Amino acid sequence: MTTITNTTLSDGRELIYFDDSTAAPGSRDRSAEATTDHRELPPRGAPGEVRFDALSGEWVAVAAHRQSRTHLPPAEQCPICPTTAGNPSEIPASDYDVVVFENRFPSLGPDLGDIPSHPTWGTTGPAYGRCEVVSFTPEHTGSFSGLSEVRARTVVEAWAQRTAALSAMPGIKQVFPFENRGAEIGVTLHHPHGQIYAYPYITPRAEVMGAAARRHFDRVDGKETLMASLLRAEREDGSRMVLESDNFSAFVPFAARWPLEIHLVPHRQVPDLAGLTGEERDELAHVYLDLLKRLDALYPTPTPYISAWHQAPLDAVLRPASYLHLQLTSPRRAADKLKFLAGSEAAMGAFINDTTPEAVAERLRSVVVPAATTVLESVNS
């Protein structure tokens, strides 16, 4: 069972240690002395602001304070490596497995609350919400695909626990765990990590997908969700399937937008990661590693990607029709070529894909996937 220890940093930000289920009792010192942040950090600033775009009906966060955030520091100054005498980092402990902490330079938060419910042109409000960093490993180099299954399972547990906790906070409308991997995507830290955003509004993409899901749900009188219908269709067709397990399926979607795009879907409808059973979380750790290894096996160098966990919005209308799933995408269209979002995509949102989903799925099915570094042991969540 994953061991969870809560503490706070010197400026009041929350930090949580998630220790692997296989860690020997007492092998990780989580005493107050070992987890005290001795840095003298300045007080946390007030939130930025959100502005309503009346032309699109969307909220835009303005976070000018993030201009000074850390950008690709050298290894000896990494802010999410364990603390040493020469590098008092964001992680006070000298060792850890997985850590989640509030971002020092958040796009949203740290305050919580409700933004205006009936905005018009000129409407602004505090950028309420929460932004958290998830460090997957104490190792400065590597990536998620190189984690053991035990460690990947600890990350899954952290995502699930934080999803439940953030969803219960005042004013939160959507919780979004994600990972940006690769300089081409725009990462600002080399250390393997992801993030979780808790928004005070439903994001534009989630709003569009949620509305489509709700229309389908109403059309069939609530008998089946849209994602369940799509999953059944992809499994029956088979040409775009990448892998199937007892509880999950992965496929390249019929109308993929990106050169590399994979959707990972549980066979059982759940709204979010917190809704998965212990058995499903075990299996997810294995399947997710398999997908990332396949992505990296396509080319001689690691593939940049965005790993986006789509969870049901915290909305009474959209949530019953929504369905947890992963959208794993990459702009890499060849070994030495990236797809850039130019006129049609960036200006109009009209995607033009340079690859066929069926060919991409065939390539992903056929790659040789390296074995996991550690066999996943039985984990009770």
| Encoded tokens for 81 | 């490596």
| Dihedral angle sign, alpha carbons of residues 154, 284, 253, 204 | negative
- CA separation (Å) from 104 to 9, 87, 166, 268, 309? 10, 17, 17, 37, 23
- The terminus-to-terminus CA distance of the chain in angstroms comes to 6
The DSSP bridge pattern shows strands 49-53 and 98-102 to be unpaired
Query: Does 267 participate in catalysis according to the annotation?
Result: no
By the 10 Å C-beta count (0-12 exposed, 13-18 middle, 19+ buried), 231 is classed as buried
| Encoded tokens for 284 | 């997810």
Strands (E), the chain: 3-8, 14-19, 49-53, 58-62, 98-102, 124-126, 130-135, 174-181, 193-199, 241-244, 248-251, 260-266, 305-310, 325-330, 332-334, 337-338
Contact indicator for 123, 59 with CB cutoff of 8 Å: no
Phi-psi region of 122 (alpha: psi -120 to 50; beta: other; left: phi over 0): left
* Chain CA centroid to CA 380, Å: 23
The closest of 318, 45, 91 to 208, measured between CA atoms, is 318
Peptide bond into 302 cis (omega under 30): no
Q: Can you tell me whether residue 329 is helix, strand or coil? A: strand
Catalytic residue among 191, 193, 310, 325: 193
**Known catalytic residues?**
193
